[in-house]
């Protein structure tokens, strides 16, 4: 398990600031959900963690070492699945496994892929299907299977369920939570979402990014022995209070931004 430190990180596209002075210390094995409005820099922060972009200033440390680029210690799951459409679902997984574990034989790579497909409740015959032959939920399951197959200690998930129907989304939320909880060494997960309820269900640590430029305007860390489940989310008074608090923080910023732009309340 790897801890992550985000140390006063700012990022700009040209002369447009996107993130400004983001600082965050995350314990190894945490499940961090990042909330915020569209355009606040949530996905940019994930790309910086993945080494796909470099900070304009500040630094990101993984296990005390600066992030200098992409690495196999960080896996990514994207909203658009990120599967090669011309390759079978199984080959999409084994290709990643080969990069992470080059000493494994082809048979061992396939066995690992099949085991992870089973973990995400997909039948073995999905191995031989092209992504275009699978539903959106099945493609996202394959992307999750690939991420867990390479066994990175850090997993970066960028709104992975946003395009799915409510039932499929709920099933995949439970599946990812179950996989994370049952891993012998829990992964450190950063999960970008717009959904407060999704964050409350999954997270050990909820952060809200503000706008212009993005920075952390609110953070809630759950005590280790205080987790909720879907059945209790809307019955537990403390969870309801926290839900309302998070929504109030987001709404207050919307009001402030409207006032600053001269739009006024509606």
Encode pLDDT of 169-191 as tens digits: 888 899 899 889 887 788 999 99
pLDDT of 260 over the 90 cut: no
Q: What sign results for the dihedral spanned by CA atoms 68, 148, 194, 204?
A: negative
Task: Give the confidence band of 264 by pLDDT, cuts at 50, 70, 90.
Answer: low
Beta bridge partners of 32: 190, 205
- Residues 56, 184, single domain; the answer is yes
The answer to whether residue 92 is domain-embedded is: yes
Q: What sign results for the dihedral spanned by CA atoms 85, 74, 126, 105?
A: positive
Instruction: Print the domain residue range for 169.
Output: 1-73+154-221
Confidence (pLDDT) at 263: 60
> Of 219, 197, 229, 245, whose CA–CA distance to 6 is shortest?
219
The answer to whether residue 160 is domain-embedded is: yes
pLDDT of 68 over the 70 cut: yes
Give the CATH number of the domain where residue 4 resides.
3.40.50.300
- Residues 133, 188, single domain; the answer is no
Q: How many domains does the chain have?
A: 2
- Residues 147, 159, single domain; the answer is no
Is pLDDT larger for residue 266 or for residue 240?
A: 240
pLDDT of 253 over the 60 cut: yes
Confidence (pLDDT) at 118: 92
Q: What is the mean pLDDT of the chain?
A: 89
Q: For the chain, first and last CA: distance in Å?
A: 47
> Of 200, 258, 255, 246, whose CA–CA distance to 227 is shortest?
200
Average pLDDT in the 79-104 region? 91
- Residues 18, 115, single domain; the answer is no
- Residues 57, 178, single domain; the answer is yes
- Residues 4, 136, single domain; the answer is no
Average pLDDT in the 30-49 region? 92
Average pLDDT in the 99-115 region? 94
- Residues 128, 35, single domain; the answer is no
Q: What is the pTM of this model?
A: 0.90
The answer to whether residue 200 is domain-embedded is: yes
Confidence (pLDDT) at 1: 67
Radius of gyration of the chain (CA): 19
């Amino acid at each position: 398990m790897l801890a992550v430190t985000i140390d006063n990180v700012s990022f700009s596209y040209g002369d447009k600031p996107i993130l400004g002075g983001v600082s965050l210390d995350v314990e190894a094995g945490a499940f961090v959900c990042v909330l915020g409005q569209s355009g606040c820099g949530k996905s940019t922060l994930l790309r910086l963690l993945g080494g796909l972009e470099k900070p304009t200033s500040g630094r990101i440390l993984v296990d005390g070492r600066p992030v200098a680029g992409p690495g196999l210690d960080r896996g990514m799951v994207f909203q658009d699945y990120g599967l090669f459409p011309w390759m079978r679902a199984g080959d999409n997984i084994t290709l990643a496994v080969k990069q992470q574990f080059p000493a494994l034989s082809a048979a061992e790579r396939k066995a690992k892929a099949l085991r992870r497909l089973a973990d995400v409740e997909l039948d073995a015959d999905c191995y031989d299907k092209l992504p275009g032959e699978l539903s959106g939920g099945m493609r996202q399951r394959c992307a999750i299977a690939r991420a867990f197959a390479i066994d990175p200690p850090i997993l970066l998930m960028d709104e992975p369920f946003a395009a799915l129907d409510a039932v499929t989304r709920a099933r995949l939320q439970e599946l990812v939570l179950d996989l994370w909880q049952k891993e012998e060494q829990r992964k450190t997960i950063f999960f970008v979402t717009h959904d407060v309820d999704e964050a409350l269900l999954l997270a050990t640590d909820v952060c809200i990014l503000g706008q212009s430029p993005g920075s952390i305007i609110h953070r809630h860390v759950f005590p280790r022995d205080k987790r909720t489940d879907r059945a209790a989310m809307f019955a537990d008074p403390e969870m309801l209070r926290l839900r309302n608090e998070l929504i109030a923080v987001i709404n207050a910023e919307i009001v402030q931004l409207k006032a600053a732009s001269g739009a006024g309340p509606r």
